[in-house]
Structure 1
C-alpha cells in the first residue's frame, strides 16, 4: 500500500505547558506553541502535535488520561493514498480532511491517519569508531563529533498493548490490508511489524500483554549510543524520570533509554536497530526471548 514511515503522532494531554517543555528538552524542533497546544518536528520532518485532552477535534481515545490520539502514516504517493482510502472504505468510515489526509480506526480502536509523506533528507556522516587496525579517525580528535544537544532524526516506531484475544484481527488489519510485514511473531508477547517501505526491524509493535488497549511508547532514533547517553543525561539533569535504564534489546537489537512521557506512555531514544528487507523470513517464537541482551544499572 506504499506506506513508508510514521509521519506523525497527535497527543491529547492534560498539561500543555509541561508537555511542551518536555518535548522541547527531548530535542525536537518546536514549530508552534500556545496555550492551546504545540507542534514539533523531527529532523526528517515528522510531526508531533499536542492538544488539550478535551479538544473536540481529537479522535476518540483508547484510554483515559494523556495519550496518543492518532498515529499518522506517510505514504509514497497520492495514488497509494487513494488505494488505502478505497481499501479502508470497504468496511469502515473514512473521513478526509481539508489537506487530503485520510482518517479511520483500526480493529482495536486505534485512530490512524494517512497522508503523502513530506520527508526532509538529512545529510549526516555515519558514526566513526576507531577499532584495532581499523582507524578511520587517524590524527583527528573526537571533539568535532560532539553535539551539545541530542536531536532525534526520526520517529522509528510506536508500540501499543492490547488483549491477546484480539491478536489475529489486530495484526491482520495491518498485514493483509496495509502491506505490513511481521519480522518477529512471539507467543505471549506480540508481533513486530515493519511498514512496506521500511527496512527497520519494526515501525509498529502490537504487544498482546495486557487487559486493555493502551499506548505503550514512541521511539526516536538518534545517531549512536553516545547520543542516547547525552540525551538521557540532559533529561535526567532536568528532573525527568527514567522508566527503563539504558540497554540493548534482543528483538530489534536497538540500543535504548526510556523515560516517562507526560504526553502519555513512555518515550525512547534508540539507535542501531536491525534492518530487514523483503528477503527476511519471519521468526516465530514459542516463548519470548529475553527483552535485553544487556541493561545498565543507573541510580534513579
Structure 2
C-alpha cells in the first residue's frame, strides 16, 4: 500500500498574518503560531504549515514565485515501505533522512517531496439523506445546518509544469501512484496507492512551473456554501463560484489564497480502486460540467477509454 495520502503541505508566504487569518477563516484548526509561522491540523491529522519567507527551514521555491506550496509530505504506511521507496529513489538523486521515519528529495519537476511514516486518522461522516420526487429518504427530519465549513482532509493538490506527463511519470514509476484520468492538452490525474480518492495529485499543463491549488474535503454542498458565505463575509470571494467537474465528479468552490494559488472546498468526488479504467478527456469538456455562472455555450462531448499508448506518458 505504501503512500496513503497527503500528510502535510508547506507554504512560503510574504504575509504571515494575513495567511494565518485566511486559514482560520477557511475552517482549519490552528495548533501553533509564532513569529516564524503557523501550523494547522485537519481532522485526519494532516497538517498545513505556513512559513514566512525569512524562515531558515523553507524548502526551495517551486517555479518563479517565492510564495505558494513549496513541499508536499506524503504519509507512508510503515517504515518498511519508507525504506523500500527511499532505496529506489536514492539510485539517481540526493535523499536526506530526518530520523528513521522521514526522508526528503526533489521529484523530476524540481518540487520538494517528503515521505513520512504516519497513519492518517479515519474519517467517519454521517449520511444526510436526500429527498427527491418519488423517493423519501428523510421524513420528519431537517437537514444538518452548517454555520461554516470545517475541512476534514486534504483530498488532492495541483501543480503545473510545461511537461506534466514527464512530471507524472516519476510518481507512477517510482512512488506507485496510478493514473486515474488524462486530460488532453491538460495534464494527468494521479491516485496514491493507499487511497481511494479519484486523484491525490494533478499535474497540469502550463507554460510555467508553479502551484495551483489544494482541495479540502467537506461533507456536502451545504457545507461548501456555508463556508463560501462565511468567507465572503470576510471579504474573500470565488472567481468561479460553485461548480462541478466532469472529471472526478467533484463539487468545487475555489477561493484565492493570500499564501499563493487557491484553496478549494470540495465534496462528492468519485472514489476508485485498481479496477478503474482511466479515461482521456477533452480539456474543456472534462474540466467543468456546470457552473453557477452560466457559460455562453457548452463544449462538445469528448471522452474515451485510455489505451496503452496514452498510459505510457512519455
Do both proteins adopt the same fold according to a TM-score greater than 0.5, normalized to the shorter chain?
yes
Residues matched between the structures, number: 293
Hey, what does 1:26 align to over in structure 2?
A: 26
Mapped to 2, the partners of 1:111 and 1:264 lie a distance apart of 16
1:223 Cα deviation after fit: 0.5
Mapped to 1, the partners of 2:208 and 2:244 lie a distance apart of 28
Q: Do the aligned residues in 1 keep the contact of 2:165 with 2:203 (CA within 8 Å)?
A: no
Q: Do the aligned residues in 2 keep the contact of 1:127 with 1:223 (CA within 8 Å)?
A: no
Q: For residues 188-237 of structure 1, what are the alpha-carbon distances to aligned partners after superposition, in whole Å with 9 as ceiling and x for unaligned?
A: 100011010111111100011x2221000000000111111110110011
Distance 1:292 1:168, change over 3 A: closer
1:114 Cα deviation after fit: 0.5
1:17 Cα deviation after fit: 0.7
Q: For residues 239-270 of structure 1, what are the alpha-carbon distances to aligned partners after superposition, in whole Å with 9 as ceiling and x for unaligned?
A: 01323211001111100100100111111000
Mark the runs of 5 or more structure 1 residues left unpaired by the alignment.
none
Residue 69 (structure 1) aligned with residue 34 (structure 2): no
Q: Do the aligned residues in 1 keep the contact of 2:77 with 2:119 (CA within 8 Å)?
A: no
- 3-state DSSP of counterpart to 2:227: helix
Residue 136 (structure 1) aligned with residue 132 (structure 2): no
Hey, what does 1:271 align to over in structure 2?
A: 267
**What do you get for the CA RMSD once the two structures are aligned?**
1.6
1:54 Cα deviation after fit: 2.6
Q: Do the aligned residues in 2 keep the contact of 1:103 with 1:112 (CA within 8 Å)?
A: yes
- 3-state DSSP of counterpart to 1:81: helix
Distance 1:242 1:167, change over 3 A: closer
Equivalence map 1:1-300=2 (5 Å) = 2-62=2-62, 63-98=64-99, 100-142=101-143, 145-163=144-162, 166-208=163-205, 210-285=206-281, 288-297=284-293
Distance 1:198 1:72, change over 3 A: same
Give the alignment's TM-score, normalised by structure 1. Answer: 0.93
Structure 1 segments (4+ residues) deviating >4 Å: none
Mapped to 1, the partners of 2:127 and 2:54 lie a distance apart of 43
Give the alignment's TM-score, normalised by structure 2. Answer: 0.89
Mark the runs of 5 or more structure 2 residues left unpaired by the alignment.
295-314
